[in-house]
Chain A
């Protein structure tokens, strides 16, 4: 033990105290979105996925424009050809270029899936938050409406829709929304029920926050994780709902080629010309994986509980 002498200690001056202020926020102040972006950037897998998604979207837009083939032009002299320099991904049973068809398919599938998923999200979140937050009789009525909607077989609704509107992209989107938003609403409601009695929400209400503020500042951001995860499941799901509808004969009108159609048609040829199945499937698998990892990364980035 060494001796401690008085002169080893010095009083802190006011100036020094100011410089060392423990209460001071040292870092640069960040908004919610800046913070989210910062986190996302640190997540390498998510960034790769983000670039993959961007690349797919860009290819979908530009690849068909830059090719000398079109998605619907048949050339029966080059049917079912394997990938080559002329046809990078081979050709299909009508001799159409698969490279162009895959990216044309990307346009259609992504557009349909994303539009339907966003609509699901808008309707579902608003509905779910209101039902969960307001609760009581309103919740009760809203949930009964959902029960009725879900109770009616979707297929009747979809077939009817197609009879009224005719088959096509918008019919497909509407069909997906009809079957999709309810799940989102139920999920969000469940989450809101869980959140609304937590301390920070009670605190906020006690401090006089209005319902709208509570919903947008607390409930929705906190439910965002699960909403985004659901969204990333919904987009690939929608791609395949489209395939299944095609499968039961109420899909898009030929010669439009969505990924679902390409996979479906390719699958029939698999024993003979497996590339017709392989490339569209690969496109879907990569897209799906990218969306999923990206969704995961976003979830972490948005999650207020992880902010420190």
Chain B
């Protein structure tokens, strides 16, 4: 009996694994904000793009113009003034139209604005709107924009993207503070020393000249402002409809009106929705797709199986599946412009932890360089990520206005030099080698964060003899500990909000809200401050390049690790589907289907 049952078991297990050997993957992490430090739930415009299909000129359109894609989640917030997440951005981008839209090359092209004038000092923009209609027949007016933008900067609405206005538009910050004070004076005074100056709504630099003219006054010349206006939070909202919908605004597909290329229909929560071509869209002739069917698929491997079964035209390729698909002609990768890097805690005054000696050591630039140089970035990108992500040797990713290409690699992996630097650095810092044997490494709870941790631990162990004490925690806990200084090293990520290096560079000004490591360098601060008001684009760019050299080459304030990319499969008959690194990641306006049934 024993023999029989054992053999049976064995054969069952064998059958099982044979079945599995040809089977499609496991499942991704259930924590939605897993992905360690996914910072990219919010962005604006892109230069770096990927688009599908070749340029075979005027391809033949199929009779059936239907695209079938997936989203990883339900859009939680379709009130554009309050949106912050990637899915909502993507939905809004498909069904709404702002002043501008980002084209294939990453540049803003006219949308609701027919054209615009910029004043000589670069601080006043006058937008001339075209004749366009909402899906309920009302015209799109300048007031629709003003109404939406004023809501975003009114503290009463607690829009989490308010800063994308208050940083640029004249008096917007003052208005935000004033409304915050109005909301609850006592609470406001707990955090501030003085009562804010009263700023009236009409003082804010958003002016309706007439129904078709909108004038915007900025704080400083902002060369990328027309890119910003393509950002979903800058979309218009029809005041009448909004008032009438009240609490229900944006909660169902009939609680919104549309002025974009598509109409949102058949939205079933958690299941999916359908974009239907909007016949009243101003540029309806350009839009070829009749329908885009979107299913909510949370597990990337499921999406991959649906793609294999022919139910989806687009699928993600999880890292472990890449070797299977990288030879597939439909496989491609595109970078989303996010940078993942290690932050060194170098501020002893904002430190929680058992061993202040570690922080004393990390305050020394040579020690930081030693750790950074000891890492095998190429190996990490090839072995752990394997999806087109690039090893990072600077802070600003490739694809942001040619910045990385111009400033080049700022250092190299060099285990030998690392050992020497560590010795010197520890001596300079006056820290005993024994006190720097174990470093805490804080990271997120995703699969890739886990593998990265394993890999880096082995790197540092074998080159410097330093042990990483890996602390894998949830997203929120990681943020909390980062802000509190309860870490030695933390893997952090940042994605751009707009297409300009500044979105990365100003992270590290002294006492900046996201400067968790407590890095501080007067020279760096000055360069950033001056770059922000410089109106000559070339000088401005040079200042930021110099600043990056200080940040990385001289100080190694953080250790760059990788520029993230995504791997996807796309059916060859889908043409002109654009992928953007910043803002809504897919653009359907120009997409069409050609040759599906061949």
Contacts and interface: CB of A to CB of B under 8 A. Distances in A.
Chains A and B share a contact (CB less than 8 Å): yes
Contacts of A270: 20-21, 23, 25-26
Interface stretch (A5-13, A127-135, A159-167, A299-307): A159-167
Interface string A65-86: 0000000111010010000000
B507 to A, nearest CB: 26
B9 A271 contact: no
A264 interface: yes
A264 to B, nearest CB: 7
B90 interface: no
Contacts of A159: 474
A45 B454 contact: no
A234 interface: no
Contacts of B451: 93, 254
B23 A271 contact: yes
Given A44-B2, A249-B446, A271 B472 contact: no
A281 B17 contact: yes
Interface majority SS (helix, strand, loop, mixed), chain B: helix
B383 interface: yes
A96 B5 CA distance: 33
A76 B474 contact: no
Nearest to B10: A282
Interface residues of B, number: 43
Interface stretch (B186-194, B315-323, B496-504): B315-323
A188 interface: no
Contacts of A277: 17, 20
Contact of B470 (A79, A254, A281, A282): A254
B471 A253 contact: yes
A278 B20 CA distance: 9
Nearest to B475: A249
B445 A271 contact: no
A45 B5 CA distance: 9
B458 A45 contact: no
A93 B319 CA distance: 12
A163 B473 contact: yes
B472 A253 contact: yes
Nearest to A263: B26
A247 B445 CA distance: 10
A264 B26 contact: yes
B17 A44 contact: no
A267 B25 contact: yes
A274 interface: yes
Contacts of B533: none
Max chain B C-beta neighbours (<10 A), residue from A72, A254, A285: A254
B454 A281 contact: no
B450 A271 contact: no
B2 A272 contact: no
B457 interface: yes
B379 interface: yes
Interface string B311-335: 0000000101101100000000000
B222 interface: no
A49 B514 CA distance: 57
A253 B470 contact: yes
A274 B2 contact: no
B29 interface: yes
A167 B25 contact: no
Contacts of B383: 76, 79, 93-94
B453 interface: yes
Interface in A228-269: 247-250, 253-255, 264, 267-269
Contact of A94 (B2, B6, B22, B454): B454
A271 B21 contact: yes
B30 interface: yes
Given A76-B383, A249-B446, A94 B1 contact: no
B455 A74 contact: yes
A252 to B, nearest CB: 9
Nearest to B461: A72
A138 interface: no
Interface string A200-235: 000000000000000000000000000000000000
B254 interface: no
B324 A248 contact: no
A48 interface: yes
B420 interface: no
Max chain B C-beta neighbours (<10 A), residue from A73, A79, A282: A282
Contacts of A126: none
B13 interface: yes
Given A268-B318, A271-B21, A285 B455 contact: no
A73 B461 CA distance: 10
Contacts of B17: 274, 277-278, 281
Contacts of B470: 253-254
A289 interface: yes
A285 B9 contact: yes
Contacts of A250: 445, 472, 474
B30 A167 contact: no
26 contacts: A44-B1, A79-B383, A94-B383, A94-B458, A159-B474, A163-B477, A247-B27, A247-B30, A248-B29, A249-B29, A249-B446, A250-B445, A253-B470, A253-B471, A253-B472, A254-B450, A254-B472, A267-B20, A270-B25, A271-B22, A271-B23, A271-B24, A274-B21, A281-B13, A285-B13, A289-B5
Given A93-B320, A271-B21, A272-B323, 19 more contacts: A45-B5, A48-B6, A73-B458, A93-B383, A94-B455, A163-B474, A167-B471, A248-B31, A249-B31, A249-B472, A249-B474, A254-B450, A254-B453, A264-B26, A268-B447, A277-B20, A278-B17, A281-B16, A293-B5
Interface of B: 1-2, 5-6, 9, 13, 16-17, 20-27, 29-31, 34, 318, 320-321, 323-324, 379, 383, 445-447, 450-451, 453-455, 457-458, 470-474, 477
The 5 closest A-B pairs by CB, nearest first: A249-B445, A268-B320, A267-B26, A48-B2, A248-B30
